[in-house]
Amino acid sequence: MAYDLTSRLVIGLASSALFDLEESDKIFREQGEQKYRKFQRKNEDIPLKKGVAFPFIKRLLTLNKLSPNDPLVEVILLSRNDPDTGLRVMKSIENYQLNITRSVFLQGSSPLKYIPAFDIELFLSANMDDVTKAINDNYPAGKVLKGNIEDDPNDNELRIAFDFDGVIIDDEPESIYQASKNLNDFHENEKTKKEILHNPGPLINFIHRLVQIQKIEHERIKMDPTYKAILKIALVTARNAPSHERAIRTLRELGIEINEAFFLGGIDKNKVLEIMKPHIFFDDQELHLEKCSKILPSVHIPFGITNKK
């Protein structure tokens, strides 16, 4: 019987998101493919350093403990390496005891066309071209930004933080603001449409899968009051009153449970995120990620009007 991915949260992961490939990429760029191949073979038993998305992926996979016989989460490696040079990546995954067993090696080709084949609800890569093309093809994707990330091994929670516009929903409200550069127009639109649900954004299916896992954790708590929920979802948005109401109503109707919400109205998001310490933060504007990406795993979603050139 075929292994069914449609009932699971599936992440497509480039090796550039999971590991620090700076050294090997430099060899490839400066010395060419053959030197790169020799370098990877020579060092294939030396684990690659952890990358920006590593803390997120490690904790996400722990959610499979909730259903060990029917895993909730599947992470698939989508690599531009060929199987030979990609062996070091797979051996590094094994070294870190990450339960990632499925992989695709494409020898320089883009993995995007295979996203629907694996029912992928989030594709993460450090390659901006791949991510932008994925978003333009209506696939859920984000660029993992470079940063100096420290992971607390004693932290057993998984905290995921989202911006709202251009991430959870589409960019219709943002388009109104960009057209006039007047916040009053933005707020008036949101007040007028407060009972009209927002259209879904690029990560909506990913969030729906997280909601399913939240419900499973709630059921576990009912059965075992000593169980502590792993997954925590936060909203960190530049919205503030009165535009908060339409956002809350949309989340409510979509069944998305937000553990923490910050309607900041232009206050620097970085100040909140430094305290929260999410294991990953998604935002559609690079400007909002400049500071926080240096200290916490940050992902740029190049969707909507603010990313059109």
Q: What is the C-alpha end-to-end distance of the chain, expressed in Å?
A: 47
Instruction: Look at residue 1 and tell me whether its pLDDT is greater than 80.
Output: no
For a pLDDT cut of 90, what percent of the chain falls above it?
82
Side-chain half-sphere of 250: how many Cα atoms within 13 Å? 21
Residue 85: is its pLDDT beyond 70? yes
Strands 49-50 and 73-79: unpaired
Give buried/exposed letters for 138-149 (b at 16+ CB in 10 A, else e): ebbbbbbbebeb
Could you report the per-residue pLDDT of 207-264, keeping only the tens digit for each? 999 999 999 999 999 999 999 999 999 999 999 999 999 999 999 998 898 999 999 9
Q: How far apart are alpha carbons 217 and 163 in whole angstroms?
A: 24
Rounded to an integer, what distance in angstroms lies between the CA atom of residue 108 and that of residue 24?
A: 15
CATH of 158-307, one of 3.10.50, 2.30.29, 3.40.50, 3.30.450: 3.40.50
Length of the chain: 309
Helix, strand counts (H, E) of the chain: 12, 12
Give pLDDT tens digits for 5-34. Answer: 999 999 999 999 999 999 998 998 999 889
163 contacts 284 by C-beta, under 8 angstroms:
yes
Tokens of 240: 């503030």
* Nearest to 286, CA basis, from 132, 133, 169: 132
> Considering all CA atoms of the chain, what is the largest pairwise distance in Å, rounded to the nearest integer?
63
176: tokens are 């109104």
- Give the pLDDT band (50/70/90) at residue 309: low
Residue 185 contacts residue 176 (beta carbons within 8 Å): yes
Give CA–CA dist 88/19, Å, rounded. 11
Q: What is the pLDDT of residues 168-213, one digit of tens each?
A: 999 998 888 787 777 888 898 899 999 999 999 999 999 999 999 9
CB atoms within 10 A of CB 41: 13
Q: Is 77 within 8 Å of 100 (Cβ atoms)?
A: yes
DSSP 11: E
**Fold equal for 9-144 and 158-307:** yes
Q: Is 23 exposed, middle or buried (0-12, 13-18, 19+ CB in 10 A)?
A: exposed
pLDDT tens for 127-152 read 999 999 999 999 999 999 999 888 99
Query: Would you say 242 and 187 are in contact if contact means Cβ atoms under 8 Å apart?
Result: yes
Q: Which of 251, 291, 228 is nearest to 162 (CA)?
A: 251
Residue 230, token pair as written in the block: 């792993």
Q: From CA 107, how far away is CA 270, in angstroms rounded?
A: 38
Fold for the domain defined by 9-144: Rossmann fold (3.40.50)
What are 299's two structure tokens? 């992902």
Answer whether the bond into residue 47 is a cis peptide, omega within 30°: no
In this prediction, residue 180 carries a pLDDT of: 76
Instruction: Tell me the CA distances in angstroms from 159 to 64, 91, 257, one per residue in order.
Output: 16, 27, 13
Report d(CA 177, CA 271) in Å as an integer: 24
* Max avg pLDDT among 2-6, 70-74, 111-115, 190-194: 70-74
Q: Are 52 and 146 in contact (CB under 8 A)?
A: yes
Q: What is the pLDDT of residue 235?
A: 97
Of the residues 82, 84, 163, 283, which is catalytic? Answer: 163
Query: What is the share, in percent, of the chain residues with pLDDT greater than 70?
Result: 99
Can 283 be counted among the known catalytic residues?
A: no
Quote the tokens at residue 1.
């019987």
For the chain, the domains span 9-144, 158-307
99 close to 61: Cβ distance less than 8 angstroms: yes
The closest of 201, 192, 70 to 139, measured between CA atoms, is 201
